Chains A and B, each alone.
Chain A
């Protein structure tokens, strides 16, 4: 039994107030991502914000971010993720939580 999951369809149900061109999370160094053997952020992020790219590094798009903090925790040894909350009022806005 292999089920294909479309994360976009899940995130589509959520309400976001996007802070245009002010991402609250940044990757500090692309070179660090390239040398990372696991690139575990691309597996662990519950909103699939991180994806492997052709250059062998990681692309981050924070629009669907659920602000959980998992990426920061898994990348703490490399300290390659600069993680902050969005500005007040922006980001995920749970209707039910």
Chain B
């Protein structure tokens, strides 16, 4: 006798957890399958968690959610060879009772979320890899097969929250392989350090935190970004570039990370910290145009597996949680109305997404991935020219200011030509407006 549930959720990341919790809380029978040793064992995030989406699912999450620091300062740095130019925004107004952004250690959050799901009545089984979806004769998904003995389980609907690789959707022919220009590879380390040193180096008190988003020479001309985040007793540092660029280059990702750690601007911030874990993960970067088919007869796909990542704003886990919640709400609505989980009915999931910030934001930036991919000067020529200009401008010597201005203008035109500069400006504005 094959066991049957209202819904099976594959994966215990933010999207799967949001879906499983929402379903369990409404009293549906839900089975969540996770291939890791425990929830979070296979998951990687920078990470910054945005409160709004989690708050919609668990309004009082702040009572016991193991967040790290609430972010009071955002820095955006463009790194040259031995320098940086950047902007910081810091405000005491971010010190509220209900902060909007937190740094997190991913495994802690996933464990916490899973306990909530179990408390709500969801059944969670770890150490179980789903090997394929089971279809009936008409092609409708009716369950999953796992790598456990007798591992066939049925459900009215299957929600795939299995992450960026999305092997199950590929095996069922619902998705194509990821194009190398649509996906980044990021590597990161967690560095443990005396919290007092974090407070001194970043000017913080209590649980205040700083995040630094980094672009520039550290990605060696490749399309990519880096980051340095403050946790309670650790720092996370990471760097990622498009796989299409790594493929053509000769620099291994861990070498790029090591060079970042030794950059003269970064090194003093992490000095004396002890590395406790090295992680790597792919990030979906293709945006709106890379979003696959999101639903079909008896199935939906959520989170990274659905390519829901807003690279321009470095938002991913909030899109994941939103999509997981919306998939679950669609299931609840159909179940309540006694309607079947046909493709036609599950189209309501896509309609919810289209009506939300998830698809609206992805659509707004739909041309940005292509433009970044085809215009490497944003990652190579500009960091050098900008930092050199700043260096010239802030060096007080006997050269008059008008001459300095001319020198700086000349350096920009030399790198990109006047038309090139104007073209770049137009491209950027078109891509983000």
Q: Among residues 8 to 45 in chain A, which have CB atoms less than 8 Å away from a CB atom of chain B?
A: 10-11, 13-14, 17, 38, 40, 43-45
The closest CB in chain B to the CB of A76 belongs to: B177
Decide if A88 touches B280 in the complex (CB within 8 Å): no
CB atoms of A70 and B127 under 8 A apart: no
Main SS of the interface on chain A? loop
Do A43 and B280 have beta carbons less than 8 Å apart? Answer: no
Whether A93 lies near B37 (C-beta < 8 A) is yes
Are A48 and B254 also in contact (CB < 8 A) when A88-B35, A96-B276 are? yes
Given A1-B259, A44-B253, A89-B37, 20 other A-B residues pairs in contact with their CB atoms under 8 A:
A3-B255, A5-B255, A7-B254, A10-B254, A43-B247, A44-B246, A46-B187, A46-B253, A66-B279, A67-B42, A68-B282, A70-B185, A87-B129, A88-B128, A88-B147, A89-B128, A92-B41, A94-B279, A96-B190, A97-B106
Q: Judging by beta carbons under 8 Å apart, are B107 and A89 in contact?
A: no
Q: Is A73 an interface residue (CB 8 A)?
A: yes
| Partner-B contacts on A (CB < 8 A) | 1, 3, 5, 7, 10-11, 13-14, 17, 38, 40, 43-48, 66-70, 72-74, 76, 84-89, 91-97
CB distance from B60 to the nearest CB of A (A): 24
B370 CB, nearest partner CB in chain A, Å: 18
Flag if A69 contacts B277 (CB, 8 Å): no
User: Given A3-B258, A14-B278, A94-B107, are A44 and B126 also a contact pair (CB < 8 Å)?
Assistant: no
How far is A85 from B40 in the complex, measured between Cα atoms in Å?
A: 15
Q: Which of A40, A73, A88, A91 contacts B146 (CB 8 A)?
A: A88
Is B169 at the interface (CB under 8 A from chain A)? no
The verdict on A73 contacting B178 (CB below 8 Å), with A44-B246, A85-B35 known, is yes
In the complex, A47→B278 CA distance in Å?
9
Q: How far is the CA of A48 from the CA of B107 in the complex (A)?
A: 24
A-B contact pairs, 21 of them (CB 8 A): A3-B258, A3-B262, A7-B252, A7-B254, A10-B189, A40-B246, A46-B185, A46-B280, A47-B280, A66-B281, A73-B177, A74-B247, A85-B129, A88-B126, A88-B146, A91-B42, A93-B41, A94-B40, A94-B41, A94-B279, A97-B40
Count of chain B residues near A, Cβ 8 A: 56
B210 CB–A CB distance under 8 Å: no
Residues on B with beta carbons closer than 8 Å to the beta carbon of A46: 185, 187, 252-254, 280
Q: Let me know if B199 is at the binding interface, CB within 8 A.
A: no
Asked whether, in the complex, the Cβ of A40 is within 8 Å of the Cβ of B43, the reply is no
Cα separation A67 to B42 with both chains bound (whole Å): 8
CA of A72 to CA of B164, assembled, Å? 13
Question: Is B247 touching A86 in the complex (CB atoms < 8 A)?
Answer: no
The smallest C-beta distance from B351 to any residue of chain A, in angstroms, reads: 30
- A48 touching B258, Cβ below 8 Å: no
Q: Which of A13, A89, A94 contacts B275 (CB 8 A)?
A: A13
**B139 proximal to A (CB < 8 A):** no
Does B107 lie within 8 Å of A44, measured CB to CB?
Answer: no
Are A88 and B127 in touch, CB under 8 angstroms?
yes
Cβ B107 vs Cβ A96 within 8 A: yes
Q: Which residues of B contact A66 (CB under 8 A)?
A: 279-281
Q: In the assembly, what is the distance between CA of A66 and CA of B281, in Å? A: 8
Q: Which 9 A-B pairs have the closest CB atoms?
A: A89-B127, A46-B280, A97-B106, A10-B278, A66-B280, A88-B128, A88-B127, A88-B129, A69-B165
Interface centre among A1, A40, A84, A88 (most CB of B within 10 A): A88
- Evaluate contact between A14 and B148: CB separation under 8 angstroms: no
Asked if A43 meets B129 with Cβ closer than 8 Å, knowing A10-B189, A10-B278, A89-B37, the reply is no
Residues in B whose Cβ lies below 8 Å from that of A87: 129, 147
Q: Are A43 and B41 in contact (CB under 8 A)?
A: no
Residue B105 CB within 8 A of the other chain: yes
Chain B 168-207: CB-based contact to A (< 8 A → 1; otherwise 0) = 0000000001101001010101100000000000000000
Contact pick for A40, options B234, B247, B275, CB 8 Å: B247
CB < 8 Å neighbour of A97 from B44, B251, B259:
B44
Asked whether A13 lies within 8 Å of B259 as measured between CB atoms, the reply is no
